Structure 1
Amino acid sequence: MAEQSTQTTISKIVGALAAVAAAWVAQKIVATAWQAASGHTPPKPDDDGDAGLAEVAAAAMVTGAIVSLVRVLATRGTARKLR
């Protein structure tokens, strides 16, 4: 029973690290693509720039959706590899 608990804990830790790394990479890719498409970096909620609400909302939706998808795929892939 202790062996199963240890494997579950290791799996959760490795999965979380993979998810964080994948989310960071996805965020960098989104920022690079946004800059290539628009000529500037995506707006952040705390920026005092001149980005309108529509641009801030679009950046948040695109970044959030891609980062969430990549985190799920990384977590599931890690769990599958550790089994």
Structure 2
Amino acid sequence: MQLFFRIRKWTGVERLHPNLLRHTFAVSYLVGGRNLEFLRDMLGHSDYTTTRDYVKMANQYRMMDADVYKLDDIFFRQIK
């Protein structure tokens, strides 16, 4: 948590915390059209109940055509 305290102080973003970064990644991952099963596994969810909340949010951002959650293409490159 020391790291997030320092980042909050340096950036002035008070609501910055580990769960915000986790949430942002999850929604961005789904907005990018990635696999729900992989996301569930990465987040460590035992079932889809919690993961579905991210699907709802991703769909809302898609409907609004908001680009705030679009990840850089580097996250979606195939490893060769």
What TM-score does the superposition give when structure 2 sets the normalisation length? 0.32
Larger Rg: 1
Q: Which has the higher contact order (CA 8 A, sep 6+)?
A: 1
Write 1 or 2 for the structure with the bigger share of helix. Answer: 1
